[in-house]
Copies of this chain bind each other. A is one copy, B any other.
Amino acid sequence: MEKESIESLGEFGLIDRIKSTAVLYDSNNTKLGIGDDAAVIDNGKTYTLVSTDMLLEGVHFDLTYTPLKHLGYKAVAINVSDIAAMNGTPKQITVSIAISNRFDLAAVDEFYEGVNLACEAYHIDLVGGDTSSSRAGLVISVTAIGEVEKDKIVYRSGAGENDIVCVTGDLGAAYLGLQVLEREKQEFLGNPNMQPKIDDKTYVVGRQLKPEGRTDIIHDLNEIGVVPTSMIDISDGLASEILHLSKHSGVGFTVFFENFPIENITLETCTEFNLNPIASIISGGEDYELLMTFKQADFEKIKAIPEITPIGFVTKEKENWLVLNSGEKTKIVAQGWK
C-alpha cells in the first residue's frame, strides 16, 4: 500500500483531519476549539482567547536577512494579530525558543529585546515559555492569551448576505518585501562586499520584517460601537482568507481589485520584479491586516476609521469572485501552505 503523504492533504486538510478526531469533553467551558484564529474559553465573565504559532528557521524565516530583534517582535505581533481577528485584546504571551550552539547570549538577548518591545507596544505581559537546545536551527513557539467581552466576539462564521467586505491598511507589501530581501540575499551570496540596495524599498521590506497586529483597529471599532459580522487576519494571503470566511459563513464574496488599498511602491516593485500585481496582491501573505465584513447599517459609522477600506460585498451564492479593473471576473481559488 502506498503511503499517504501529508502534502496531498495540505495544511488546511491536515487541520481538518486533526479537528475531526478531537473530542471536546468540557463543552461548558470550551466555547470553540480548532478552526478559527483563536480558541475560545468561557471563563464566566468574559471569553479567554488562545492562539499559537510555531516559527522554524529555514521554513518561516531566514536569518541571513532577518535581524533577531525584528524576529522577536514579529513572533509576538503575528499572535497578537490572531487575537485581534476575534475582536479581542491580547493580554499575555508565552514564548518558547530552541537554540543551537551557534547562538551566543547576545543573540538571545537581541531576540528578547524584540519580544519585549512588542510586549510594550501591545501592552501585553510575557508570562512564560520554555528554553531548550536545538540540533538544527532556531525554533520559536508563541502562545497568546487574550480577552473579549462575550457579546463582542467575532468568528469566521458570521458573514451574511449583502454585508460589506473590508480590509485594513494596505495589501501585498509584505510579499514584495520578501522578494526584495531574497534578491539581496542572492546578490550578497554572489558578492559579499556588495552594499544592499533597499533604500527605496524600506516600506515593503519593513512590512515583511516588522508587521503589526491591528489591535488599533479593534480599539477604534470598540470606540464607535461597531462589531464586524466576521473577521480573519491576512496571514496566508487575501484569497486564502476570503475562502476561509466563505466556507465558515456559508456565503460568497465578490471583491473588486480597483478598490484594493495598495501602496504605489508595492505596484512599482511588482513591475521591477516582473510579477503579476493581481496574483501578488491576492496571494501574497504576511500582511497581518484584517479582512472583515460589516452589516450595511454600520457602513456610515466605519467611515470614521480611515484605515478601513471597503473592497466588495457578500452574496448568498457560495462562489467567490475577484472583479478586475476591466470588469472581467475571475474565480478565487484555494491557496495555502504545502
Contact = CB atoms under 8 A, between A and B. Distances in A.
Interface stretch (A94-102, A179-187, A249-257, A285-293): A94-102
Nearest to A43: B43
Given A34-B129, A94-B143, A4 B104 contact: yes
Copies of this chain, how many?
A: 2
B50 A125 contact: no
B14 A135 contact: no
Contact count band on A: 35 or more
A91 interface: yes
A108 interface: yes
A17 B141 CA distance: 19
B128 A38 contact: yes
Interface string A123-149: 111111111111111010101010100
A48 B48 contact: yes
B14 A130 contact: no
Interface string A40-51: 010111101011
Contact of A116 (B21, B98, B119): B21
Interface of A: 3-9, 11, 14-15, 17-18, 21-26, 29-30, 32-34, 38-39, 41, 43-46, 48, 50-54, 56, 58-60, 91-92, 94, 96-99, 101, 103-106, 108-109, 112-113, 116, 119-120, 123-137, 139, 141, 143, 145, 147, 337
